[in-house]
Amino acid sequence: METAKLGNRLLFVASVVLTGAVAGAFVWLLLFVMNAGITFLWNVLPAHFGPLFPLLACIVGGLVIGLYAKKFGPYPEDLNEVMAKVKKEGRYDYDKLGVMSVAALLPLFFGGSIGPEAGLTGAIAGICTWVGDRMKRFGADFKQLTSVGTMAALSAIFTAPLFGFAAPLVDEGGKDGDTITLPKSSKIVVYLCAIAGALGAFMLLGKLFGGGMSLPHFSAITVGTLELAWLLPLALVGAAGGWLYCVFDGLLAKASGKIGDRPVVKAVIAGAVLALCGIVLPFTMFAGEVQTEELGEVWTTMSALVLIATGLVKVFLTPLCIRFGWRGGHFFPVIFAGISIGYGMAMLTGADPVFCLCACTAALVGGVMRQPLMTVLLLFLCFPLKGVVVMLIAAAIGSAIPLPKAFRKTGHPTGKNETPEKIEGSETA
């Protein structure tokens, strides 16, 4: 009996590592396909269509996205919806994995100002549920593979193990949504095994074949008297960006609801607005990870006004895309928005650029997520450990700025972006 129990435990741990590896490999695969599609669409075709290519591409993209949503429904689901289902039901339906994957890729191909995390997490949760259903005869523990795989996927997507570990553990009943309830030590080991498998597979495939998705890491930061004097103003500027994101999100959700069940119309409108903004401010398009690296090379040649305007327009375009059918995540875009604003403020103040990026980005992301601790765990993917105090203070300021009552968010480990009542029109197949 004991031998059989030990065997099941070993099999479970092996399955957890394998589940993490599958999650990491699937994340890598979809990002590889995404990068290939973007390269073809935006590096090869523009030479044949001239400077107005973004307008053509985004309008056509809106038409394709809208028609796809009209036929198959509003996929992928928001990251928060996926995590809520996994937490409540312990599983996620996998009968439309192909539909979800294509729906996740389409807005990214056409330059949408969104991140890939929503579609990737839903697909991973579905795959892990499928595996768990087929292995549950070995014990009840195998039902946990869905939550384990979701955690591993988040770690791989953001290359941020602490964020992937903590996000599913946040106690939503806490006052500020930042209370992390640790599981038993045995489960911690299981989660860490899954994360190790995911990051190992993700990084190995990236090393062998390229691809992946990650923001540049800023390693050097100076914290002097000048920087400390500017900390509060920088945090307030970033917090204003986070406040605007939440307000734009609420207003655009209402506008989407007014238009109603017209997925094609909404997606084309979003595509046209996205393209026009992209023609004037090119860095406002796409998820933001590649654009962050490019911006780091050229920001000194740009004016502070253009840098700040780029961040603020990004703050508008991301909820526009999400609410008008270009469905995806908001993490990468809002991080890019904070970085762009931070560069602009560095130019205006003369303070250390990385310090400005830390303060502005943490305040902006904190204003969107409303959870300082989770904000800092996420931002470790691009900012140094030395900036942790700066990020904590700025994120706390950003999350403390009160929102208009109609646009207040509910606490969620990943920052839930929904107003209290359901205001967005439903889209059916």
Three-state SS string across 95-154, please?
A: CCHHHHHHHHHHHHHCCCCCECHHHHHHHHHHHHHHHHHHHHHHCHHHHHHHHHHHHHHH
CA-CA distance, 76 to 96, in Å (whole number)?
A: 10
The pLDDT, as a whole number, for residue 88 is 78
> Which of the two residues, 236 and 150, has the higher pLDDT score?
236
Cβ atoms of residues 38 and 109 within 8 Å = yes
- pLDDT tens digit sequence for 90-119: 778 877 888 888 999 999 999 999 988 877
Comparing 144 with 280, the larger pLDDT belongs to 280
Rounded distance, CA 429 to CA 420, Å? 25
When pLDDT is cut at 50, 70 and 90, the band that residue 285 belongs to is very high
Contact criterion met (CB below 8 Å) for 311 and 338: yes
**Mean pLDDT, range 23-27, rounded to an integer:** 80
pLDDT of residue 414: 46
The pLDDT of residue 192 is above 50: yes
One-letter amino acid of 420 = P
CA distance 147 to 84: 10
Q: Which pLDDT score is estimated for 63?
A: 97
* C-alpha closest to that of 121 among 67, 85, 169, 73: 85
- Under the banding of pLDDT at 50, 70 and 90, the label for residue 360 is very high
More confident residue, 220 or 309: 309
- pLDDT of 66 reads 96
Select the CATH number that applies to the domain covering 225-407 from these four: 3.60.60.10, 2.60.40.10, 1.10.3080.10, 2.40.50.100: 1.10.3080.10
Domain with CATH 1.10.3080.10 in the chain: 2-209, 225-407
Question: What does residue 360 show for φ and ψ, rounded to 5 degrees?
Answer: -65, -45
Burial (CB count within 10 angstroms: exposed 0-12, middle 13-18, buried 19+), residue 361? buried
pLDDT tier at 416, thresholds 50, 70, 90? very low
Letter for the amino acid at 28? W
Average pLDDT over residues 232-237: 97
Q: How much is the pLDDT for 324? A: 96
Best CA proximity match to 310, nearest among 276, 345, 341: 341
Residue 182's pLDDT is what? 44
CA separation for the pair 143, 101 (Å, rounded): 23
CA-wise closest residue to 159 among 230, 110, 214 = 214
Return the HEC string of 371-418.
CHHHHHHHHCCCCCHHHHHHHHHHHHHHHHCCCCHHHCCCCCCCCCCC
**Would you state the pLDDT for residue 184?**
54
When pLDDT is averaged across residues 237-263 and rounded to a whole number, the result is 95
Name which of 55-69, 185-199, 201-215 the model is least confident about: 185-199
Q: Which helix (H) or strand (E) holds 180?
A: strand 179-180
Give me the chain's average pLDDT, please: 82
Q: Is the pLDDT of residue 33 over 70?
A: yes
pLDDT given for residue 97 in this prediction: 81
46-59 pLDDT, tens per residue? 877 777 899 999 99
Poorest-confidence range of 46-60, 136-150, 374-388? 136-150
Chain centre to alpha carbon of residue 82: 13
pLDDT at 225: 94
pLDDT in the model for residue 227: 94
* Assigned fold of 2-209: Clc chloride channel (1.10.3080)
- Angle of CA points 117, 180, 8, to nearest 5°: 80
